[in-house]
Amino acid sequence: MVRIFDTSAVVEIFAGNRLLMELLDQIHDGYLVGALPANAMSGAQAVMGAPASHWAPILALPGVHTIPVTDHNALEIGMIAAPRTIYHPVYESLINPLMTAQVLHEAIMMNGSIVTKVPEAYGGHDVSVISVN
């Protein structure tokens, strides 16, 4: 099973959220796969400004995979993001339209569950969402 982390979930990892620590343990032990979309990582970094050394333990975990924005998925992400550029949630720094669109795209492509603190950002889509509130 795949868990795709959005910006809000990544920020919560760095805050030591208990549920997310348990998810990381399950990823480490091979029960789950963790996906970190590039837009979620850059959004979290913009909010936190963490040194690269703080990212290293998370990125080095077995079962954690980063997902770049490629030329192929950039076009699909842009199409998903288009309506969100007008109507996106209040949590702009945590849920920006391009990050939300990449997370949705990856959840659909990998048949995974989105991990987020802002589940309403993914309403209206046929995806599984795990709230870390």
41-50, 51-60, 71-80, 81-90: which range is least confident on average? 81-90
Nearest one of 3, 105, 53, 35 to 45, comparing CA atoms: 53
Give the model confidence (pLDDT) of 77-122 as tens digits.
888 877 766 665 555 666 788 888 899 999 999 999 999 998 988 8
What is the CATH number for 45? 3.40.50.1010
Q: How many domains are contained in the chain?
A: 1
The H or E element spanning position 25 is helix 18-28
Alpha-carbon dihedral 97, 33, 23, 112, rounded to 10 degrees: 50
pLDDT at 95: 77
Boundaries of domain holding 40: 2-131
Nearest one of 125, 117, 129 to 43, comparing CA atoms: 117
Nearest one of 23, 111, 107 to 73, comparing CA atoms: 107
pLDDT at 88: 56
